[in-house]
Structure 1
């Protein structure tokens, strides 16, 4: 009897020590890395932050990276909330040093010394300095917000499991001196992005062990997450096996990871981020690196799409000039052209500004139709007066005849915007915006919010089709759809 009691006491003490260790502080060094605020570093830091950080640290309708509930983690692990990254001195990171923030990013150790559930990033010193520079840049995302982020708490089971799997020790990597490989379509640069910058390996490898990305299951998929509606989803197999990406072309791959559109025309599942800043060279490097990895057979339940050699692709539409077409969308049907050019709506706080190429695609003003230079005195005596010729009228863009409810569902919009979905209220407020602005939002949401997980539909939807969809949305169409089941 005494032996059983002693055994029970030992077991209780062991569990207590394990949980205490999970809640206790850990030792991790402070990388001596300072924020780089040069123009090139700010641009690089913005690309990385929008792709790897913003989705977790910016909630729903928030204009700032003030923290958000982490619904993606399994509920049995506990309740988690990302940190407030605004410049507020107490609720945010305004009072944090660069070294403290570098430790959070490199080792996933909080400022108070606790191991966090967030990924740790092995990005090079130069890229880490660029991310810190962007966070210190005064960008609207970091406008001070005094709302403190709720504390993250493990459940009993979650805390115990986390402590056992991680050993309550941060990942082992150099405190300083990590290089950034030369950018190019090379396997070295592809590995760097997949493992250290975009964290593909962590999300697409099952388990929570810090060392899992070095094992045999790397990139085979199966990591458990929750989608915005609380449904369990598992990351896809992204090795080039028949159960993974075997028949994906580079164009398929780039469209998926950058724009959020799978080869069958459907939207990629949440919480997959969008790597908006990825260019052709980076896409080639990442694609070739994944192809170089050993194919792993793992038919993840619910993952899609699995392509065959003959899988048909949607008929992708050619991009059109938004400046011209949206101007016609806004013009009243009976009105003649006025010579004014409609510009993109001014971005609100937290939105991006049009790129120089976009800004110069539309002239600031248009000369009055038929205006000519005053004739000289000698010419006026012999030549008849010139008659002003009115400018030809452009044809008006007419909304396409589309089955809007069917299209709304096929594009994956219903999962986020149908009744009961996470962002239904947001789309219900769309009637307050103009048609042209909403057409731009549907086709290129990243121009308004670079870190948005909403797919870019510009290749799949031309302007007339997007306009038809927008007008159905503004008429209250989404409210007529079946509620999303939780």
Structure 2
């Protein structure tokens, strides 16, 4: 190619450009409440932890009402809180700023710290606009009176997860890998479950996405998959369609059913543009073997 020469755009390139322009235009036209609904109910999958469940799935009329035991392990028994706008048992008495601070910094209005498995270290990277949209949507859901058991921690919690968060902007959607990293990190917190744990409860970020952590539940013990580009133990040999099917429907490349805590019921509605960005980011992860 000669620098400065005009490039001819073929039909395929023109089609991609039109789709991208339409996607970005739709994103700009989205209201904060619509964006918040999408984040909370779909890609952030807040209800995967905060909606109590029975043998047949989420309990009717209890959406986001908490009192679901998320993890019960030696270091802690974590029970999801009620995040509906009920004044007595939920967050109805909190200000928008207090809800935002609890989500992004892990500090409740009374000054207490929210413990794991809330991925506050990742949520600190939530963009201001997305955080405000999530707060707006949480304000809009029906209040549910439901007293949640308090979590019990047998490990010391930090006084804070860092200094107060300043302004945060999301990467541009056009930068597929960077935006995919934003979705897989602060928004969907995929890397929270799919990155191995070090001693003391910290994630081994040198093995980002390598999987291996076990999650016990009614399904037995589910082990987080290796999401790196390893062709033997990761996703390197998978097609984009196979990765998308696994995320949306919980069906592995070989036809096996995958297990919770993956939020397949929510992830099935991830937008096409966000799915492309997520897969682009996963493709960028260096191969790591188990």
Using structure 2 for the length normalisation, give the TM-score. Answer: 0.77
- How far apart, in 1, do the equivalents of 2:289 and 2:72 lie? 25
Tell me the residue number matched to 1:292. Answer: 284
Question: Larger % of strand: which?
Answer: 2
Partner of 1:216: 206
* In the alignment, structure 1 residue 45 sits paired with structure 2 residue 36: yes
The C-alpha deviation readout for 1:99-119, integer Å capped at 9, x for no partner, is 111111112233432231111
Matched ranges for 1:441-460 at <5 A: none
**Cα distance, 1:54–1:127 mapped onto 2, change above 3 Å:** same
- Tell me how far apart the structure 2 counterparts of residues 44 and 258 of structure 1 sit (CA, whole Å): 19
- Aligned partners of 1:66 and 1:84 also within 8 Å: yes
1:246 aligned to which of 231, 236, 244: 236
Q: Which residue of 169, 174, 199 maps to 1:179?
A: 169
Q: State the distance in 1 between where 2:275 and 2:174 align.
A: 10
Matches within 5 A, 1:246-395: 246-274=236-264, 275-298=267-290
Higher RCO (CA 8 Å, separation ≥ 6 residues):
2
Shift in Å, 1:256: 1.5
Q: Secondary structure at the match of 1:226?
A: strand
1:223 to partner: Cα distance: 2.2
Structure 1 gaps of 5+ residues are: 1-37, 299-486
Within 2, Cα distance between the matches of 1:170 and 1:237?
31
Question: Any idea what the Cα deviations from partners look like across 1:40-77, whole Å, max 9, x if unmatched?
Answer: 22222112112320111111224221103224x24323
1:144 equivalent in structure 2: 143
Aligned equivalents of 1:219 and 1:181: distance in 2?
Answer: 20
Task: Report the CA distance shift for 1:286/1:174 in structure 2 as closer, same or farther (over 3 A).
Answer: farther
In structure 2, relative to structure 1, the CA distance for the partners of 1:279 and 1:147 (3 Å cut) is: closer
Aligned residue number for residue 30 of structure 1:
none
1:135 aligns with 2:127: no
Q: Residue 79 of structure 2: SS of its match in structure 1?
A: coil
Which structure has the larger Rg over C-alpha atoms? Answer: 1
Cα RMSD for the two superposed structures: 2.3
Q: Deviations over 1:426-476 (max 9, x none)?
A: xxxxxxxxxxxxxxxxxxxxxxxxxxxxxxxxxxxxxxxxxxxxxxxxxxx
Q: Find the counterpart in structure 2 of residue 106 from structure 1.
A: 104
Q: 1:338-385, CA deviations, whole angstroms, 9 ceiling, x for partnerless residues?
A: xxxxxxxxxxxxxxxxxxxxxxxxxxxxxxxxxxxxxxxxxxxxxxxx
C-alpha distance in 1 between matches for 2:174 and 2:270: 12
Match of 2:20 in 1: none
1:205 aligns with 2:195: yes
Structure 2 unaligned segments of length 5 or more: list them: 1-28, 54-58
**Contact persistence 1:185–1:281 (CA under 8 A):** no
Is 1:78 the counterpart of 2:76? The answer is yes
Specify whether residues 185 and 247 from structure 1 end up closer, same or farther in structure 2 by C-alpha distance, changes over 3 A only.
farther
The 8 Å contact of residues 91 and 147 in structure 1, kept in 2 or not, is answered as yes
Q: Specify whether residues 225 and 110 from structure 1 end up closer, same or farther in structure 2 by C-alpha distance, changes over 3 A only.
A: farther
**Structure 1 CA distance for aligned equivalents of residues 182 and 163 of structure 2:** 14
TM-score (norm: length of structure 1): 0.47
For 2:49, the equivalent position in structure 1 comes to 56
1:226 to 210, 216, 224: 216
Contact 1:238/1:244 (8 A) holds in 2: yes
Q: Distance in 2 between matches of 1:176 and 1:290?
A: 28
Q: CA 1:277 to 1:42, structure 2 compared with 1: closer, same or farther past 3 Å?
A: farther
Counterparts of 1:189 and 1:40 in 2: how far apart (Å)?
20
- Residues 369-405 of structure 1 show CA distances to partners (whole Å, capped at 9, x for unaligned) of xxxxxxxxxxxxxxxxxxxxxxxxxxxxxxxxxxxxx
**Residue in 2 aligned with 1:92?**
90
